[in-house]
Amino acid sequence: MFGGMRGPWGHHVYHSRGFVGIRYWILRILADGEKTGADIMSTMENLTMGRWRPSPGAVYPLLRDMEDEGYIRSTERDNKKYYSLQEKGREMLGMLGAGPFYGRDLETSSIGDAIDRASDYINYLKDNREQIRSSSAYMEKLKKLKNDIESILGW
């Protein structure tokens, strides 16, 4: 049924935008507590550092389906619908693995988090310096980043 790293909906568990990907993200986000659909979309946007925000047309039908399937439940108050994880959703999350997205949580909630993440990426780039040095496009991008960092530092 699962086929290696594939989830029960048929796609790779960590696929960022696939049908399964959004379902997985919803489960992960709701594991932290009750949220509205808008909160879920905002959290996804934060997790991708603003690079992707799913549309209401992608999220709300999935929320409805996942509720119908018993993974989540909704309650209404203050003219808003709040979603929470049900036991079936916790079990599914346990089967899929509640590890960090893409090997590490992507949520950046502070400047310190952003600096730590940048440091991780710099270490990756250092490990691949020969490939970078052989590409003028990569070198130009890194020179621009260097200038951006220097402007932050006031150099």
Q: Write phi, then psi, for 11 (nearest 5 degrees).
A: -110, 165
Whether 93 contacts 99, CB under 8 Å: no
Cα of 109 vs its chain's centroid, Å: 13
The Cα–Cα gap between 85 and 108 comes to 23
**Which of the residue ranges 32-36, 113-117, 138-142 would you say has the lowest mean pLDDT?**
113-117
User: pLDDT tens digits, residue range 78-96?
Assistant: 999 999 999 999 998 888 7
User: pLDDT tens digits, residue range 34-90?
Assistant: 999 999 999 988 887 777 888 999 999 999 999 999 999 999 999 999 999 999 999
Q: Which letter, b or e, does each residue of 59-73 get, where b requires 16 or more Cβ atoms within 10 Å of its Cβ?
A: bbebbeebbeeebbb
